[in-house]
Amino acid sequence: MSQLTSRDRRPVSLFGPIVLIAIGLFFLFNQIHPTAHLYWLDVLRLWPLLLIFLGLNVLAVHAPRPYASFFSALVSVTAVLMFGYVLLNGLARTPFSSRLGTGNWQTEQIRFDAADVETAVYDITIGAPGADLHALDDSRDLVAGTIAYQDDYLFDTHVSSGKAVVRLAPKDSSSQWIFMPEFWREYGETNRWQLGLNQNVPATLTLDAIAGYSQLDLRGLLLRSLKLTASADDMDLLLPAGDYDAHLVINATTTEVSLPDEGHQTIDMEVNAGSATFHSPENVALHVEVERALGAFSADNIGLRRVEDQENVWETADYAYAQNRVDLSLHINVGSVTID
């Protein structure tokens, strides 16, 4: 049997071992000497560069021996040094800083006067810090508060014929949130948005909560309709009194919904890989329709009873003549819904 010569042996990639050793040394050093501030956001923003290094390593191991291992080691060490530098120092002193920003948090006061506004349309995207949203008390502002951001944000307002349109969102949130480490760690109160909306102007409200814990206290608002999509972390939603429709989409999040004690609300909820709990006041009648795929539904409210000849429909006994009631339609794909 012939033996493989050094020329015939397959070149060995050193990328994996060197990167793993570097990561292990970093965590060991961080255990002994904890680092106060690390620029995880800046590192995550360079994730395409990791693909480039992996591609270079593939090319390196195809070089003739003995150069293959040398080139693989060179690519690996360069990657470790570059990502390590950014982790410790951020992007501020790198060629990427002008394009990607430094990841430092900034705060900004925002406000918009409600003069001559009869109705309002809000389109608000809540970024990684999360938000505390509430009704403004006796304020002439249509919207006011403090927001936190890292690169830039969009705050656009327009009024025409008594109708105001307000858009608020962090920059590039729709495309970059999943690569942000804010999605992985908890936030203190200082970074969360503190945002108030006018309680006297009828409002159509669209909310997109893409990361971070949010407490959305909508009590006191004059809602015409609500559209809410929650895609990460936990959320508390307190709904206002009145007659309106609401469409809620829950994606991989835990949501607590407090129903109002007055009015007639029609709520359609879609649950995808998450859980939701509805808290219902005693004086509110309920009509609940449930569609389940892999999800679970439970009703701890002893007043709910299954409607005869309708397997997936529940009602309280007083629903037919109740003045204050909620029509709840649940579409549980993967997850669970509880009513108590």
Residues 6+ apart with CB under 8 A from 148: 105, 106, 107, 129, 190, 191, 192, 193
Sequence ranges of the domains in the chain: 15-99, 106-339
The whole-angstrom separation of Cα 16 and Cα 61 is 12
Q: What distance lies between CA 36 and its chain's CA centroid?
A: 26
Q: Give the pLDDT confidence of 195-230 residue by residue, as tens digits.
A: 999 999 999 999 999 877 899 999 999 999 999 999
β-bridge mates for residue 325, sequence order: 264, 285
The whole-angstrom separation of Cα 138 and Cα 336 is 39
Q: Give the pLDDT confidence of 274-325 residue by residue, as tens digits.
A: 889 999 998 999 999 999 988 889 887 768 888 888 889 999 999 999 999 9
| pLDDT of 97 above 80 | no
Whether the CB-CB separation of 255 and 330 falls below 8 Å is answered with no
Quote the radius of gyration of the chain (alpha carbons, Å).
27
Measuring CA to CA, which residue among 290, 261, 275 is closest to residue 338?
A: 275
What pLDDT is attached to residue 101?
Answer: 46
The whole-angstrom separation of Cα 37 and Cα 200 is 44
| pLDDT of 28 above 80 | no
